[in-house]
Amino acid sequence: MRVGRVDDVTAFELAAVLDAAIDREPTSMVLELGELVFMGAAGLVVIANAERRLATSGVALTIQSPSTLVNHLLGIVEEARVERALPGSGHLGPEQLDGVEVVSQRFGSSLSTRDLRRVAGMPTDPDVVDGALGLVVELALASIGDADGVSVSLLRHGVLSTVAASDQTIMAMDSDQYATSEGPCVDASLRGHWFHAESLDTETRWPAFTPRARALGIKAILSSPLRAFDQPVGALNIYSRTASSFEIEDQQAAAAFAEKASVILSDAHIDVGDRQMAVRFQEALRSREVLSLAKGIIMERQGIDEEDAFSSLLRHSLRQGTTLRARAEAVLLSVRRSERGPEGDAP
Amino acid sequence: MISPGTEAPDVLDSYRQEAGLSHSELWLRYFEMGGMSTGFELEAYLSGALLPSPYDRDVIAHALNERFSELGVDHPVRYRTELER
């Protein structure tokens, strides 16, 4: 099946073609996305729906050559189990399906979509990343019950701004937080953990921002942090006009969306500030150094080579259920101890 | 259980996706643990285009497994058999 653009309009056609193909009870189905230039949220929902329909009869939908971005987004749809009005079948006559080539191939049914996905390229263009985050916003809005607005705030060159928002009120809501330097979105973006304002009527944490939000009719806010290279870089903000509207499942869904958006940002590199990257890299370098010293000590003690010294460290950390770095630090500590007394802690 | 080497070539990449790690973040973790291959080579190992050395395979497995234990999952990625004993 070849498709050029899947937007809100062509998603209907795609749904009709897929439905017709599924009705013929295929043993397998392949969707070739190599020539896809645009994929909207509606298209993702159609594909996820087809995948689910096929799965009920034990048939795998194979998606070939999706871009990294489409791949991430399909993952989001799968996990969030988006439930919203799907473009149905039967609206279109066969004449509208002209030019759509249905490719049906026989594959072993044990292969799943997940197994067969291939990463084709890395998104690097900021517009592409913003577009992807826009889709995350759209999908979060569609799948989180009682969400009246969703936005993504991102730190770029040390400045927090909204890169995707479901409407102007939400845009204003975020701007009010940047202007007052407070609010759940600012805190989640800078401090890297989530903030939940269950009811703004009783909220006391953000005295300058809260009255502004109440004036715009917002009652509850849930901000989940976005991270790239383990550093906070922004937040996914969900707003509701109903107090206490975010249930546990909504909070989990928000975390899942934030996680996916974080992966998009990490893959794109461009959104990670130089400072944040430097901090993360410095940490990595320090760990590598500790490990390297520990390997040297083990090599000297046991007369083995570097790879065997690594295996020895790994075996010990697995047995003791500690991280490799913690194990390496213990080895370094044992040297200091054995300098003081006879009892050394052999790795 | 499947032993490393007989599994589908892209099994490491599906673990990476399951762990919610980008290619770059996995490379950084691999580098942290003493990995010497470039990010490009690491991607080739993940997709099955290049075969990692047994040592590299263990470093990648462990970088993934430490991420899985952060997520509360007991190390699902296999190491070379002698390490598992």
ipTM of the complex: 0.88
Cβ separation of A230 and B8 shorter than 8 Å? no
Test B33 with A75 for CB contact under 8 angstroms: no
Indicate the pLDDT class of residue A200, thresholds 50, 70 and 90: very high
> Stretch A90-112: mean pLDDT, rounded?
26
- Cβ pair B47:A118 closer than 8 A: yes
Whether residue A158 is found in the same domain as residue A251: yes
Model pLDDT, residue B15: 92
The candidate with the shortest Cα–Cα distance to A308, out of B10, B30, B82, B17, is B82
Mean pLDDT computed over A71-78: 61
Claim to verify: residue A141 and residue A213 sit in the same structural domain? yes
CA–CA min distance A115, chain B (Å)? 7
- Domain residue extents for chain B: 11-84
pLDDT tens, B2-28?
444 445 656 899 999 888 888 888 999
More confident residue, A137 or A94: A137
Nearest to A284 among B8, B22, B32 (CB): B32
* Average pLDDT estimate for A141-160: 86
Given B10, B34, B62, which is nearest A288 (Cβ)?
A: B34
Min Cα–Cα distance to chain A from B63, Å: 9
Count CB atoms within 10 A of the CB of residue A199.
Answer: 13
Chain A interface disruption, residue of B16, B18, B26, B33, most A CBs within 10 A: B33
Output the domain CATH number for residue A109.
3.30.750
| Inter-chain touch B75–A318, beta carbons under 8 Å | yes
Query: Rounded mean pLDDT of chain A?
Result: 76
Specify the pLDDT at position A15: 83
Does B33 reach chain A within 8 Å, measured CB to CB?
A: yes
How far apart CA A311 and CA A317 sit, in angstroms, is 10
* Residue B72, pLDDT score: 85
- How confident is the model over A85-97, as a mean pLDDT? 29
Q: Number of helices and strands (H, E) in chain B?
A: 5, 0
Choose between A341 and A306: higher pLDDT: A306
Whether residues A262 and A288 fall in one domain: no
Give the per-residue pLDDT at A103. 23
Range of the domain at A168: 126-268
pLDDT at A255 over 50: yes
pTM (whole model) above 0.90: no
The answer on A323 and A205 residing in a single domain is no
Q: Do A174 and A256 reside in the same domain of the chain?
A: yes
Phi, psi at residue A159, to the nearest 5°? -110, 130
Report the number of distinct structural domains present in chain A.
3
The sign of the torsion formed by the CA atoms of A161, A166, A171, A177 equals: negative
- pLDDT at position A283 over 90: no
Same domain, A84 and A22: yes
Q: Are residues A73 and A27 both part of a single domain?
A: yes
A297 and A250 in one domain?
Answer: no
What's the CA gap between A338 and A272, in Å, rounded? 43
Does position A221 have pLDDT exceeding 70, yes or no?
A: yes
* B7, B16, B21, B24, best to mutate vs chain A, most A CBs in 10 Å: B24
Q: Which residues contact A336 (CB under 8 A, 6 or more apart)?
A: none
Contact assignment for B59 to A310 by CB distance below 8 Å: yes
Does residue A114 have a pLDDT over 50? no
* Whole-number Å distance between alpha carbons of A180 and A70: 36
Q: Give the pLDDT confidence score for residue A300 in this predicted structure.
A: 94
Q: How far apart are CA A299 and CA A305, in angstroms?
A: 6
In a domain, A175, yes or no: yes
Size of interface A-B (CB pairs under 8 A): 74
CA nearest to B63 within chain A: A324
CB A22 within 8 A of CB A50: yes
The confidence score (pLDDT) of residue A57 equals 80
Q: Are residues A136 and A103 in the same domain?
A: no
Q: Does the distance separating the beta carbons of A287 and B28 come in below 8 Å? A: no
Interchain CB distance below 8 Å, A262 and B13: no
